[in-house]
């Protein structure tokens, strides 16, 4: 089969950390062709989606003393060609967030791929439906108390009722712009003005979960089923657990409550074509549903001895053969 991956420039990827590389390696190891492109290299011509594609050959990372080690030159790309994306069996949309206007336009281009020909993961419609912060709000039993507002009065009232809270920009990732709010903070007004761009942009404000100090669990879902997990524990003086801000990665189990959360999400994720997803869970509460370019495969694999990339590609193989039959 032929797999295309829409990624950021490949030289910027970190082969020992990025799930996109794990997925590409798995596709190659399972005997498939791996092609790469970028969101800005997509076009619609004659009503069909096209891309400037390059074939890529990867030298897989190796596990050395519990860490992934890559060769200094870990990929080799071949000649570029302009091809219809329907010539691929599957297309993985893996551009890193934030979701910008060019990102959204790329999803509109991906709408011009016939689903009967090519599976797009995640579905462009699902990517538009699911803001990574706000998508969680519909699972009312799974989430901590949360509001979304640009209004200082509304935010202040919520914060005073809770005492402490966490503020999140709706388009953020990797801990960017996440603030700890305290009702007695003399910077409150300024913090809200800065993060809402003077009351123009809504933000999420969520009750502070003390369990966050024990970790922010990433659970990886494949078609709604949990296939792996890892914990990210805040270190030092940092309250955020994200790997990008130094969170320590640790082995973990998926609890009964977390399995229930996955069961609650599964039908909605499936309806929206959100096949490869990473949810964040703190103290048994769902805090985020990552759909754009969720990460965690490398960490889960090295902690648990799994091969989640293989599982994802094998799922695509089965899906394709079932849909051809
Ligand atoms: N409700 C919460 N209570 C305590 N800490 C939180 C809460 N929500 C998020 N955090 C902390 O902030 C970090 C980032 O939050 P998250 O919602 O996953 O946004 P993103 O990962 O997109 O930046 C988490 O790793 C966690 O440490
Ligand atoms: Mg997160």
Q: What is the 3-state secondary structure (H, E, C) of 277-318?
A: EEEEEECCEEEEEECCCCCCHHHHHHHHCCCHHHHHHHHHHH
The minimum-distance atom of ligand 1 relative to the CA of 144 is: 1
186 given a catalytic annotation: no
- Taking alpha carbons only, the member of 303, 283, 134 closest to residue 212 is 283
| pLDDT tens-digit map of 9-44 | 999 999 999 999 999 999 999 999 999 999 999 999
Find the catalytic residue in 18, 25, 89, 280. 280
Own/partner long-range contacts of 39-43 (Cβ < 8 Å, ≥24 apart): 39/6, 39/95, 39/102, 39/103, 39/106, 40/102, 40/106, 42/6, 42/85, 42/106, 42/109, 42/110, 43/109
Q: What pLDDT, on the 0 to 100 scale, is given for residue 231? A: 97
CATH classification code of 2-125+319-324: 3.40.50.20
Q: Is 279 in the pocket of ligand 1 (CB under 6 A)?
A: no
Mutate which of 241, 244, 290 for ligand 1? The one with the most ligand atoms within 8 Å of its CB, which is: 241
Distance CA(52)–CA(46), nearest Å, equals 16
Residue for token digits 């969680």? 136
Task: Name the residue with the closest Cα to ligand 1, atom 1.
Answer: 208
Please tell me the distance between residue 178's alpha carbon and the centre of ligand 2 in angstroms. 10
Q: Could you tell me the CA-to-CA distances from 112 to 84, 118, 124 in Å, in that order?
A: 10, 11, 10
Which ligand lies nearest to the CA atom of residue 242 in the structure?
1
Q: What pLDDT, on the 0 to 100 scale, is given for residue 236? A: 84
Q: What pLDDT, on the 0 to 100 scale, is given for residue 65? A: 95
Q: Could you tell me the CA-to-CA distances from 189 to 192, 200, 269 in Å, in that order?
A: 5, 14, 37
Q: What pLDDT, on the 0 to 100 scale, is given for residue 325? A: 61
Please tell me the distance between residue 104's alpha carbon and the centre of ligand 1 in angstroms. 24
Find the catalytic residue in 122, 131, 242, 290. 290
| pLDDT tens-digit map of 169-217 | 999 899 999 999 999 999 999 999 999 999 999 999 999 999 999 999 9
211-290, CATH topology level: D-amino Acid Aminotransferase; Chain A, domain 1 (3.30.470)
Phi and psi, residue 18, nearest 5°: -80, 130
DSSP string, 70-83: --SS-EEE---EEE
Q: Is 288 in the pocket of ligand 1 (CB under 6 A)?
A: yes
Task: Domain ranges for the chain, please list them.
Answer: 2-125+319-324, 146-208, 211-290
- Judge whether 212 and 233 are in contact, CB under 8 Å: no
Q: What pLDDT, on the 0 to 100 scale, is given for residue 95? A: 98
Q: What pLDDT, on the 0 to 100 scale, is given for residue 61? A: 98
DSSP state of 223: T
The minimum-distance atom of ligand 1 relative to the CA of 146 is: 1
Find the catalytic residue in 89, 96, 131, 133. 133
Q: Could you tell me the CA-to-CA distances from 213 to 180, 230, 305 in Å, in that order?
A: 13, 15, 26
Q: Is 174 in the pocket of ligand 1 (CB under 6 A)?
A: yes
Q: Could you tell me the CA-to-CA distances from 39 to 50, 65, 95, 158, 167 in Å, in that order?
A: 11, 36, 7, 39, 30
Q: Could you tell me the CA-to-CA distances from 254 to 132, 230, 232 in Å, in that order?
A: 21, 9, 14
- Taking alpha carbons only, the member of 28, 81, 76 closest to residue 54 is 81
Distance CA(74)–CA(172), nearest Å, equals 30
- Taking alpha carbons only, the member of 189, 175, 287 closest to residue 242 is 175
Please tell me the distance between residue 113's alpha carbon and the centre of ligand 2 in angstroms. 30
Q: What pLDDT, on the 0 to 100 scale, is given for residue 324? A: 76
- Locate 209 and state its tokens: 């979960």
The low-confidence residues of the chain, meaning pLDDT below 70, are 325
Return the CATH class of domain 146-208.
Answer: alpha beta
Find the catalytic residue in 84, 94, 168, 217. 168
């Amino acid at each position: 089969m032929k797999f295309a991956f829409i990624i950021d420039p490949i030289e910027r990827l970190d082969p020992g950390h990025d799930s996109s590389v794990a997925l590409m390696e798995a596709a190659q190891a399972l005997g498939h062709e791996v092609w790469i492109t970028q969101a800005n290299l997509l076009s619609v011509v004659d009503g069909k989606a096209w891309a400037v594609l390059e074939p890529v050959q990867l030298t897989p990372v190796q596990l050395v003393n519990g860490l992934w080690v890559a060769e200094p030159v870990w990929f080799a790309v071949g000649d570029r060609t302009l091809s219809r994306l329907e010539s691929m069996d599957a297309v993985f949309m893996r551009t890193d967030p934030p979701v910008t206007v060019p990102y959204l336009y790329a999803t509109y281009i991906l709408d011009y791929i016939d689903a009967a020909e090519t599976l797009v993961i995640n579905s462009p419609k699902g990517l538009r439906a699911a803001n990574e912060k706000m998508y969680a709000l519909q699972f009312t039993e799974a989430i901590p108390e949360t509001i979304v507002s640009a209004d200082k009065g509304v935010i202040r009232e919520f914060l005073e009722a809770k005492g402490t809270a966490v503020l999140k920009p709706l388009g953020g990732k990797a801990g960017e712009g996440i603030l700890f709010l305290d009702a007695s903070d003399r910077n409150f007004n300024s913090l809200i003005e800065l993060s809402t761009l003077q009351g123009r942009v809504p933000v999420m404000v969520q009750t502070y979960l003390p369990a966050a100090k024990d970790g922010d669990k990433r659970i990886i879902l494949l078609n709604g089923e949990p296939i792996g997990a890892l914990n990210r524990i805040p270190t030092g003086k940092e309250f955020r657990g994200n790997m990008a801000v130094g969170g320590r990665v640790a082995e973990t189990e998926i609890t009964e409550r977390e399995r229930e959360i996955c069961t609650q999400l599964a039908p909605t994720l499936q309806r929206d074509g959100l096949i490869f997803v990473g949810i964040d869970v703190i103290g048994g509460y769902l805090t985020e549903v990552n759909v754009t370019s969720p990460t965690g495969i490398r960490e889960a694999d090295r902690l648990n001895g799994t091969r989640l990339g293989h599982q994802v590609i094998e799922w695509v193989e089965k899906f394709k053969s079932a849909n051809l039959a």
